[in-house]
Amino acid sequence: MPGELIAYTLAEVAQRNGKAGSPTWIVIRDVVYDVTEYMADHPGGSELITEWAGKDGTKDFDDFGHSSDALRILKTLQVGVLAASDQAKNRAATAQRKGTDNLSPEELMKKKRSKRRMFILCG
């Protein structure tokens, strides 16, 4: 159906690891992104993304605490979603995500903002 997002398995994403002329895909919170063109512009350098090429980079992506600008760019790079059969598996494997597993990008930003507010209040 037009507009419907294609579901990819982790094995399919793994084939797009930037090697042998393949594009570079990365999974962040169950969404599949094509970062091939973006990598060279990444302020953190392309190597950091290469490390997660064809894999789930959610933990490292979140650990850096990307801005809403980064999330906006990310949205434009979406090519599909992770196949439902792989979502649970993948989540279990990256479970140490400080309770942010089920948050949408918007919810995550809200959480970050409230953390920042606490910091300002508490000094």
**Spatial separation of the C-alpha atoms in residues 96 and 106, rounded to whole Å:** 20
Residue 83 lies near ligand HEM (rule: CB under 6 A): no
Tokens of 95: 């479970």
Minimum distance from CB of 51 to ligand HEM (Å)? 7
**Spatial separation of the C-alpha atoms in residues 32 and 11, rounded to whole Å:** 12
For residue 87, which amino acid is it? Q
* Binder among 48, 79, 103, 108 for ligand HEM (CB under 6 A): 48
For residue 50, which amino acid is it? T
Decide whether 76 or 121 has the Cβ nearer to ligand HEM: 76
Decide whether 74 or 83 has the Cβ nearer to ligand HEM: 74
**Strands 78-82 and 6-8: what pairing?**
parallel
Minimum distance from CB of 52 to ligand HEM (Å)? 4
* Binder among 9, 22, 42, 111 for ligand HEM (CB under 6 A): 42
Residue 78 lies near ligand HEM (rule: CB under 6 A): no
Residue 29 lies near ligand HEM (rule: CB under 6 A): no
Count of beta carbons in the 10 Å neighbourhood of residue 108: 17
Count of beta carbons in the 10 Å neighbourhood of residue 112: 16
- Residues in touch with ligand HEM (CB under 6 A): 26, 35, 38, 42-44, 48-49, 52, 57, 60-61, 64, 66-67, 69-70, 73-74
